[in-house]
A and B are shown apart, each in its own frame.
Chain A
Amino acid sequence: MSHLPVLIPVTLLFSAFIIPLAGFLKRDLAFAIALIGASLSFVFSALGLLAVIPGGELRYHLGGWIPPVGIEYALDVLSAFMATVVTFVGTLALLYSRRSILQEVPERFVPMYALAMLLLAGLAGIIVTADLFNLFVFLEIASISAYALMAVGDERGCVASFRYLILGSIAGSFYVLGVGFLYFSTGSLNMADVAQRLPNLHDSRAIVAAATLIFIALGLKMALFPLHLWLPDVYSYAPSAVT
Chain B
Amino acid sequence: MNAAIADYNYLMTATLLVIGLYGMVGKRNLLKKVIGMNIFQTAIFLFFIQGATKPGATVPVWDARISGEAAGYINPLPHVLILTAIVVSVATTGVALALLLTIYRRYGSLEEGTILERMKQSS
Residue total for A at the interface (Cβ-Cβ under 8 A): 26
A-B contact count (CB 8 A): 73
Give the secondary structure class of B's interface: helix
What is the total number of residues of chain B having a CB less than 8 Å from a CB of chain A?
A: 30
Contact flag A162-B47 (CB < 8 Å), given A140-B91, A151-B99: no
Interface flag for A155 (CB, 8 Å): yes
Determine, out of B1-9, B58-66, B81-89, the stretch whose residues face the partner at the interface.
B81-89
- Chain A residues positioned under 8 Å from B96 (CB to CB): 162, 165-166
Chain B residues in 8 Å Cβ range of A159: 103, 115, 119
Say which residue of A144, A155, A177 sits within 8 Å of B47 (CB atoms). Answer: A177
Chain B residues near A166: list those with CB within 8 A.
24, 33, 37, 96
Q: Please tell me if the beta carbons of B40 and A173 are within 8 angstroms of each other in the complex.
A: yes
Is A165 touching B51 in the complex (CB atoms < 8 A)? no
Q: Majority SS of interface residues in chain A?
A: helix
Complex Cα gap A198–B14 (Å): 25
Query: Which residue of A is nearest B119, CB measured?
Result: A156
Enumerate A20-50 residues with CB–CB distance to B below 8 Å: none
Q: Mark B52-95, 1 if CB is under 8 A from A, else 0.
A: 00000000000000000000000001100100110010011001
Given contacts A151-B99, A166-B37, A170-B21, contact A140 B119 (CB under 8 A): no
B91 proximity list for chain A (CB < 8 A):
140, 144
Does residue B41 face the partner (Cβ distance < 8 Å to A)?
yes
The answer to whether B106 touches A155, judged by C-beta atoms less than 8 angstroms apart, is yes
| Residues of chain B whose beta carbon lies under 8 Å from any beta carbon of chain A | 21, 24, 30, 33, 37, 40-41, 44, 47-48, 51, 77-78, 81, 84-85, 88, 91-92, 95-96, 99-100, 102-103, 106-107, 115, 119, 123
**Interface residues in chain A, defined as those with a beta carbon under 8 Å from any beta carbon in chain B:** 133, 136-137, 140, 144, 147-148, 151, 155-156, 158-159, 161-162, 165-166, 169-170, 172-173, 176-177, 180, 183-184, 189
